[in-house]
Amino acid sequence: MPIFEEHRETIKRDHADLNNCGKGKGADASNAAAFLERFLEKDPKTGKNPTWAHLDIAGTCINKTMGCTGFGTQTLLHHILKKDLKMLWPKISN
């Protein structure tokens, strides 16, 4: 999700540090990502934020006839396992 300064600003509130939804109508995936970004902790060794992703799959994972489909789960697991395997065995190409 792209997170721009406008997303960080829209979750700020006068009576709280932040709100989990923006000031506009409906949910916005980038506002949600900006909210989650506030809870990241920098790596104490490097001082950098961790690599992370916000996958907003709620709208695509529900099928009216089948129910919850788990859409995106297989892709996410494949990515995680591929990354872990490359760390263990760097010569693996796929």
Q: Is residue 50 part of a domain?
A: no
- Mean pLDDT is lowest, of 29-33, 47-51, 81-85, for 81-85
Q: Is pLDDT at 43 greater than 70 in this prediction?
A: yes
Terminal CA-to-CA distance of the chain, rounded, Å? 25
pTM of the model: 0.57
**Residue range(s) defining the domain that contains residue 23:** 1-43
Q: Is residue 52 part of a domain?
A: no
Q: Is pLDDT at 42 greater than 60 in this prediction?
A: yes
Residues 37 and 62 in one domain: no
pLDDT in tens, 31-40: 888 888 888 8
- The CB-side HSE value for 36 (13 A sphere, CA atoms) comes to 16
pLDDT in tens, 8-27: 888 888 888 888 776 766 56
Residues 64 and 39 in one domain: no
CA dist., res. 94 & res. 79, Å (int):
11
Residues 34 and 72 in one domain: no
